[in-house]
Structure 1
């Protein structure tokens, strides 16, 4: 059976980056609360700035410096605001799809010397278990013609393209490199093909 989504609720959310409409989607794949945060009129537009952001409780909410997620979330909203229209899709797939409990266990393994990829594998998972089917269905529902994807991850581009979304360009989203996230970011470059320049702040 083909996966489906339903846009159940839309509500206005004023933010420091202007006014957005939050779309709450249900879907036929899982029971998680995936959302699209939409600024401006995106219907039938080309080169719509889109960030597909996977949930990171520690980074997005608590401000953890172990990753770049919280900073990327803030930067993505800034980039969308600058364009005047765009979409932030927030997918509830914590820890690259392994969940919060396993992610925290992976953090402890990293503190013992494993990198972010090997820690996931040690716990019996893949390096990255995220799926983008729901994101593609949400973009189709919002009727965008093509997206300028805000990402450093070539896998997201490949997956969206495979799912029928036209990715017209990539917009880099590089955050500060510091001692707390240096190893994490290096692993993303070396083992996950992420496109990062790795300029460390003095």
Structure 2
């Protein structure tokens, strides 16, 4: 996985957004045919200390602004931070819906959550993995773009581990802190208590510079 070429760059174009102008790249996964996206801002040619967000697809949160999760808010904040920094990359990974269980099962998990289960318990009740996402495709996209060292925007230390070993060094983990609401409070608490996500003052870790 570290050496096999698993993605192919298909196309690229300038894309003006509400956060500013980016260049959008389309990559195709050679293993399953999924098309992924990289949004690039500014000059990253030196590949050093690039501000990066590797974002998992979340249709309900990213597109329909679901209040159940913080996914859409994190994506918007990442785009804003990169625009403010003047350079950076957002890699948008398809096929990660519901931490890899897919949209249909995700909606079934929603019903179980409404009955009192948390997100982890709901997946287990459905006989599904708690988190089946992989980040090798994201890492290969970043390598193709020339990223060698990066400041990774994430609250999930496991994502740092998942991206290591592909020839890219993580020099800093940048927290992506968004508002806690009555609708996403338990979701965020579960991510912290059961999945190791780090919020608030507990943001410093071994990736901090």
Same fold (TM over 0.5): yes
User: 5+ residue gaps in structure 2?
Assistant: 202-209
Distance of 1:150 and 1:120 partners within structure 2: 26
Q: What is the alpha-carbon root mean square deviation over aligned residues?
A: 1.3
* Residue-by-residue CA offset, 1:108-156 (whole Å, 9 max, x unaligned): 0100111001111111211111110100100110011211000000011
Describe the SS at the equivalent of 1:190: helix
Q: Which residue of 2 aligns with 1:166?
A: 169
1:155 to 158, 167, 171: 158
Deviation of 1:40 after TM superposition, in Å, equals 1.1
Describe the SS at the equivalent of 2:164: helix
Task: State how 1:22-41 maps to structure 2 within 5 Å.
Answer: 22-41=24-43
Q: Which residue of 2 aligns with 1:113?
A: 116
Describe the SS at the equivalent of 1:107: helix
Deviation of 1:13 after TM superposition, in Å, equals 0.3
> How many corresponding residue pairs?
198
Task: State how 1:12-23 maps to structure 2 within 5 Å.
Answer: 12-23=14-25
1:191 to 191, 194, 197: 194
CA distance 1:125–1:163, shift in 2 (3 Å) = farther
Deviation of 1:30 after TM superposition, in Å, equals 1.5
Describe the SS at the equivalent of 1:82: helix
User: 5+ residue gaps in structure 1?
Assistant: none
Q: Which residue of 2 aligns with 1:102?
A: 105
Using the size of structure 1 for normalisation, the TM-score is 0.95
**Runs of 4+ residues over 6 Å off in structure 1:** none
Task: State how 1:57-96 maps to structure 2 within 5 Å.
Answer: 57-92=59-94, 93-96=96-99
Q: Residue 4 in 1 paired to residue 14 in 2?
A: no
> Is the Cα contact below 8 Å between 1:3 and 1:27 reproduced in 2?
no
Deviation of 1:197 after TM superposition, in Å, equals 2.4
